[in-house]
Amino acid sequence: MREIDLSQDLCKFNISSNLSELAGLKHLQHVRLHRCLSLTDKGLEQLVCSCKSLTSLDLRGCTKVSLADSRWRTTESDSR
């Protein structure tokens, strides 16, 4: 599986407690978490650290995620 949509109603599970299931998806590249109101910075960090193949995340409406946090920024050297 390369893509998963856990948006809105599909995001009723806890990312932290189900991380092992997502981490097992070695080829996961695209994750939609649109309006996952329970997703926090900690849960996002766990997801990103476990799914090394991720290339895109849809975090629109994830109100508990602080996108201003420097750990979510990429630098020019990261993208090379």
**pLDDT tens-digit profile of 5-27?**
888 766 665 665 666 677 778 88
pTM of the model: 0.71
Residues with pLDDT less than 50, the chain? 76-80
Q: Are the C-beta atoms of residues 27 and 2 closer than 8 Å to each other?
A: yes
Q: Are the C-beta atoms of residues 10 and 37 closer than 8 Å to each other?
A: no
Place of tokens 């097992």: 24
Our measurement of the distance from residue 56's CA atom to the centroid of its chain's CA atoms, rounded to an integer in Å, reads: 8
Which is nearest to 71 in space by CA: 30, 42, 51, 50? 42
